Amino acid sequence: MVLEEIAASLMWFSYALIPCLLTDGVAVLPAPQNISVQSTNMKHVLTWSPVMVPEEIVYYSVEYQGEYESLYMSHIWIPSNWCSPTTGLECDITDDITATVPYNLRVRATLGSQTSAWSTLKHPFNRNSTTLIPPGMEVTKDGFHLVIKLEDLGPQFEFFVAYWRREPGAKEHVKVVRPGGIPMHLETMEPGATYCVKARTFVKAIGRYSAFSQAECVKVQGESLPLALALFAFVGFMLVLVVVPFSVWKMGRLLRRSCCPVVVLPDTLPARLSLFMAPRETCSQTQKCKKWEIHPETFPSSKCQLLVALQ
pLDDT recorded at residue 166:
92
Residue 21 clears pLDDT 80, i.e. is over it:
no
Q: Note down the domain range covering 153.
A: 137-219
Q: Is residue 109 domain-shared with residue 44, that is, in the same domain? A: yes
Last residue of a domain, one of 90, 106, 127: 127
Question: Average of pLDDT values for 212-228?
Answer: 75
Residue 97 clears pLDDT 70, i.e. is over it:
yes
Is residue 229 situated within a structural domain?
no
Q: Is residue 41 domain-shared with residue 83, that is, in the same domain? A: yes
pLDDT recorded at residue 11:
44
pLDDT band at 271 (very low <50, low <70, confident <90, very high): low
pLDDT recorded at residue 17:
45
pLDDT band at 170 (very low <50, low <70, confident <90, very high): confident
pLDDT recorded at residue 82:
87
| Helix, strand or coil, per DSSP, at residue 22 | strand
**CA proximity to 193, closest of 169, 214, 223, 234:** 223
**How many CB atoms are closer than 10 A to CB 157?**
23
Contact 135/150 with Cβ under 8 angstroms?
yes
pLDDT digits (tens, 9 = 90+) for 178-195: 877 889 999 998 888 999
Residue 152 clears pLDDT 50, i.e. is over it:
yes
Q: Is residue 83 domain-shared with residue 107, that is, in the same domain? A: yes
Contact 116/27 with Cβ under 8 angstroms?
no
Q: Is residue 122 domain-shared with residue 149, that is, in the same domain? A: no
The CATH number of the domain where 44 resides is what? Answer: 2.60.40.10
pLDDT recorded at residue 286:
47
pLDDT recorded at residue 143:
85
Between 237 and 310, where is the model more confident? Answer: 237
How many separate domains does the chain show?
3
Rounded CA-CA distance 36/67 in Å is 19
Is residue 107 situated within a structural domain?
yes
Is residue 99 situated within a structural domain?
yes
Lowest-confidence pick of 11-25, 29-43, 64-78, 251-265: 11-25
pLDDT recorded at residue 101:
95
Q: Is residue 96 domain-shared with residue 142, that is, in the same domain? A: no
Q: Is residue 117 domain-shared with residue 150, that is, in the same domain? A: no
pLDDT band at 212 (very low <50, low <70, confident <90, very high): very high
| Helix, strand or coil, per DSSP, at residue 94 | coil
Q: Is residue 162 domain-shared with residue 119, that is, in the same domain? A: no
Residue 103 clears pLDDT 70, i.e. is over it:
yes
